Structure formats: structure tokens, C-alpha cells
Amino acid sequence: MAQNTPPPMPQNQPHMMPPAQMAPPQQTLPQQGGQFVPPAQQAPYPPVHQMQLGGQVGGGNAGFGRVLLSEWTKIRTVRSTIWTLVVMVVLILGLGVLLAGTVKPDTDDDYVSVSLIGVIVAQLAAATLGVLTISAEYTTGMIRTTLTAYPRRLQVLVAKGVVFAGLMFAVGVVTMGLTAMIGKSMLTSRIGDSTADVDLLRSVVGGSLYLAVIGLFGLGLGVLLRHSAGAITALMGAILLPMIIGPFLPQSVGEKVMQYSPMFALGKLIGGGGDDGGPGPWPSLLLIATYATVVLIAGGIRLRSRDV
């Protein structure tokens, strides 16, 4: 009987004793914090009565610019961002250099598009990072801290989107621009001048915009589904499935499924117009941006209306 066990005069209730009896001798009282040498992952409690709780909090205000800065700090201070960017750069640049040094394209091929093949794989990393940007907040519980500090939820989502898309675009332009130049000069020196029309704006800028847009699509799925694994699975399905199941569908349907898919848009953007039908590079990009917008709006509605 649990209720029989406590003695009438409990002896071992250190929490109610005066501070002097509070801690065993070898433990350090808060008042003696200065003498305490902490082990590696330990920190002493500072004396409360000496705490100056007020301080320099400034007179600034919260606004969209602030939350933008906050989201930038968040995205640059987690390892998943760094790793994803490293993977993206290695894939784009490495694959580009590898191909430029080995393949033998015809001289009427677009050397830039050959060099940028790595983007097709790198987009998976970009989209996954888009998912993690928001889903990791749900997984860790950080979202509650975020929304406590800044309760205007849609602004938080928009700020995340702006920061993330900006980062993807910037990294994309630099990496793809570099890869395109290196790859083109390598192929030119190996095989000779290409007769194909090279559209650097379409390939590099369009490709970078695509990375930002597919990442926003991932962000939208992340805020909509709130679970990293589920959202990443849905994302991979959306990117890869059309190209896999397209050929097995009746031709008229399968063609449309493939032509309106993200992969097709990326192919058009880095690989040139071609004459394989379907929308052109820029309309394709716009279509994918529409997908991303739809998912983001749905996610935004859920973020706004649901408890966190």
C-alpha cells in the first residue's frame, strides 16, 4: 500500500530544506558557482540574486524584415543546409566536369546542357532541403518556439520561402555558371567548337530558378504534411513518377503526364527547346511554379488554421 509508506516526519526531502542543507557537500550551490569547474557538457547555475534580468533589448520592432533575417539565421545554422549545398555543388560541378572530360557529343550538341546534367540529380537535394526547412521545425518542436516569438504565421512561411528560394537561386547560378563555363571550354578543347545555339540565360538562370521553385514545392509539401519522411516521399513521387509511369500509360495521357512534369521542365530548361513537343522551357518553369504555389497556399491555409 503506497499510502502507508511515507513516515510521519519525512527526512529526505531536500527540496523543502533551506538552501544551506540543499545540496550534498560535493555539489556546488548556486551561490558558489564561480568555484565550480564544469565538465565538458555541463554548466553551473549562476547565482540568481546577482542576476540583472533587464538589459539592452533595444527599441526595435518585429516586422517582415526581422523575420526574414531570423529565417536566414536559421537556415544557415543547421548542418542539413550545409550538407545539402555541398551535395548539390559536388553533383553539379563534379558530374559536369566528369562528363565534359569523358563523353563525346556531336559538334551540333549544346555543350552547356551536356555539362549541366548533374542538376537533374541535384534537384532532389534542393527539394529535400525545401521540405526539411519547415518539417524539421515540426519534428523538433521548434515551430512552437518560432511561432511564439513571431505569431504571424503566414509571414514566417513567406520568409522561409524567400530565404530558401534566394539561397537556392544564388547557389544555383554560381555553381551552374561555373560548371557551364568549365564544361564548355573542356568540350571545346577536346572536340572542337559547337555549332549549337547556347542560351546561357535559359540554362543557368532558368536552371537555378527551377532549383528554387522545386525547393519551394518541397517547402509547400513540408508545411502541408508536417512530417519529413512523408513529405519527402511525396516529393520524390512527384518528381520521378511521371517519367517512370508515363511510358506505360496510353500514349495521349502518358505524353501529357510527362510533358507537364517537373523533370520535363528541367530538361527543357537546361537541355534546350528541342522539338519533342510539349510546353517550352519558360512556360514549363511557370507550370512548376504554379504547382509549388498551389501546394504552398494549401500548406499556408493549414499553417494558419491548425493548432501547432
Partner 1 sequence: MIEARGLTKRYGTKLAVDQLSFQVRPGSVTGFLGPNGAGKSTTMRMILGLDAPTGGNVTVNGRPYNHVQAPLREMGALLDAKAMHGGRTAYNHLLCLAQSNGIPNRRVDEVLGMVGLTQVAKKRAGGFSLGMGQRLGIASALLGDPGILMFDEPVNGLDPEGILWIRNLMKQLASEGRTVFVSSHLMSEMEVTADHLIVIGQGRMIADTSMRDFIETNSQSFTVVRSPQVDKLNTLLRGKGATITPDQAVAGAFRVHELPPAAIGDLAAEHGIALHELSPRFDSLEEVYMRMTQHSVEYRAGLPGGPPPGWGPPGMAPPPGYPQQGGPQFAGPPPGYPQQGAPGAPWGAPVGAPGTGAPTLSKPQSNGSEG
Which positions from 60 through 99 interact with partner 1, judged by CB under 8 A? 60-63, 66-67, 69-71, 73-74, 77-80
* String of contacts with partner 1 for each residue 187-226, x by CB under 8 A: ----------------------------------------
With respect to partner 1, which residue has the nearer C-beta, 155 or 233? 155
Please tell me whether residue 247 binds partner 1 under the rule CB under 8 A.
no
C-alpha 265 chain-centroid distance: 21
With respect to partner 1, which residue has the nearer C-beta, 273 or 304? 304
Please tell me whether residue 37 binds partner 1 under the rule CB under 8 A.
no
| Number of residues located near partner 1, criterion CB under 8 A | 76
Among 148, 201, 250, 251, binds partner 1 (CB under 8 A): 148
Of residues 288-307, which lie at the interface with partner 1 (CB under 8 A)? Answer: 305, 307
Q: How many residues are recorded in the chain?
A: 308
Among 25, 26, 35, 43, binds partner 1 (CB under 8 A): 43
Please tell me whether residue 44 binds partner 1 under the rule CB under 8 A.
yes
Please tell me whether residue 26 binds partner 1 under the rule CB under 8 A.
no
**Furthest CA-CA distance within the chain:** 97
With respect to partner 1, which residue has the nearer C-beta, 160 or 268? 160
Task: Quote the least distance from Cβ 292 to partner 1, whole Å.
Answer: 24
Please tell me whether residue 32 binds partner 1 under the rule CB under 8 A.
no
With respect to partner 1, which residue has the nearer C-beta, 28 or 188? 28
Q: What angle do helix axes 153-191 and 118-140 make, rounded to 10 degrees?
A: 160
Task: Quote the least distance from Cβ 138 to partner 1, whole Å.
Answer: 11
- Options 146-154, 164-172, 244-252, 281-289: segment touching partner 1 (CB under 8 A): 146-154
Of residues 119-138, which lie at the interface with partner 1 (CB under 8 A)? Answer: 136-137
The DSSP-derived string for the chain is -GGG-S-SS----GGGS-HHHHS-TTSPPGGGGGG----TT--PPPPGGG--------S----HHHHHHHHHHHHHTSHHHHHHHHHHHIIIIIHHHHHHHH----TTS-HHHHHTTHHHHHHHHHHHHHHHHHHHHHHHSHHHHHHHH---HHHHHHHHHHHHHHHHHHHHHHHHHHHHHHHHHHHHHHH----S---HIIIIIIHHHHHHHHHHHHHHHHHHH--HHHHHHHHHHHHHHHHHHGGGS-HHHHHHHHHTSHHHHHHHHHH---SS-S--HHHHHHHHHHHHHHHHHHHHHHHHHS--
| Residue among 51, 16, 15, 45 at smallest CA distance from 32 | 45
Among 111, 150, 210, 217, binds partner 1 (CB under 8 A): 150
Please give the Cα distance from 216 to 229 (Å, whole number): 17
With respect to partner 1, which residue has the nearer C-beta, 33 or 230? 33
Task: Quote the least distance from Cβ 142 to partner 1, whole Å.
Answer: 5
Please tell me whether residue 41 binds partner 1 under the rule CB under 8 A.
yes
Please give the Cα distance from 235 to 217 (Å, whole number): 8
Please tell me whether residue 35 binds partner 1 under the rule CB under 8 A.
no
Please tell me whether residue 29 binds partner 1 under the rule CB under 8 A.
yes
